[in-house]
Structure 1
Amino acid sequence: MTLPVRRSGGAPARRTHPWGIRDSFSEFETLWDEMGRLVERAAAPVGEHPWMPLAEEMETEDAYVVRAELPGVPSENVAVELEGNELCITGEITEEQQGKVLARRTGQFSYRSTLPGGIDSDNIEAELADGVLTVRVPKAEQARRRKIEIGRGRE
């Protein structure tokens, strides 16, 4: 079974502070999420969730975005759910085998991602177009970055 590969061409980008210091905690958090997915897949009974779609996660100014490759999967066969701060994308691809060997993946799939706190769960959007599922989870107003004006000190 092959493991998903990020489109960026390797390991996820490291987050750094403005001073050039690496954020080790976020690296550990990413590693923890990946190990959790690996253990979950290894512990699943055979045939229950045999594969995970290729997916990428990114953060914008006002939302968290998850894009998953689901070529040939109709939207009625995909379920997107949010439980607490865990986003879960599940579904199934069914295809009749026409030749001797079926090269495409079939069966059930599952992708899970733990989102940071401070999300607006009432305004989540999901769209499946051209074989790519895009889920946009807006950040709550208090979780968004904002510029703080610096006042002048006492004169």
Structure 2
Amino acid sequence: MNRLFDDVFRGFGSTSLSPLMEGRFSWPKVELSDDEKMLTISAELPGMTEKDVQVEIANGVLTIRGEKKAERNGEGKYFTERYYGAFERQIPLDNVQEDKAEASFNNGVLTVSLPKSDKPREGVKRIAIHTQ
């Protein structure tokens, strides 16, 4: 009985499943760079072009979405560890000038640059906390 449970739960939490789960639920990988003047977000999108990707900002959230289509040709047995299919990543933004956002695509890397704002985003209200 112990061996049965060991076989069933063997992959949970081990390194054998981690890369598969990580790639499926957090793709594309992103990198954020934040300094006094600029927020820069880069996303690795190998094998894709700017036509395959859509970048939007709405309600203080940057959304990167697209679809990577399979490159498989022919029939027969097939194994892949590459990711294909639709994806979407959402990144909350704070204190940036959304209307001045710029995006570029070079060598499979999407880069979105957002200048910092001197004033907080409109529509945000700070609520005071009172002691009782």
State which of 77, 92, 100 in structure 2 corresponds to 1:114.
Answer: 92
Distance 2:21 2:25 in 1: 11
TM-score by length of 1: 0.56
Aligned residue pairs total 98
What residue number does 2:56 align with? Answer: 81
Q: Which residue of 1 aligns with 2:31?
A: 56
Among 18, 22, 28, the residue aligned to 1:3: 22
From the CA coordinates, give the structure whose radius of gyration is larger: 2
- What are structure 2's unaligned runs of at least 5 residues? 1-19, 121-132
- The percentage of counterpart residues that share the same residue type is 32
Which consecutive segments of 4 or more residues in structure 1 shift more than 3 A?
none
Alignment-derived partner of residue 110 in structure 2: 133
Shift of 1:2: 2.7
Q: Which has the higher strand share?
A: 2
The higher-RCO structure (CA 8 Å, 6+ apart) is 2
3-state SS, counterpart of residue 47 of structure 2: coil
| 2:83 equivalent in structure 1 | 105
Q: Structure 1 stretches of 5 or more lacking a match?
A: 5-48, 144-155
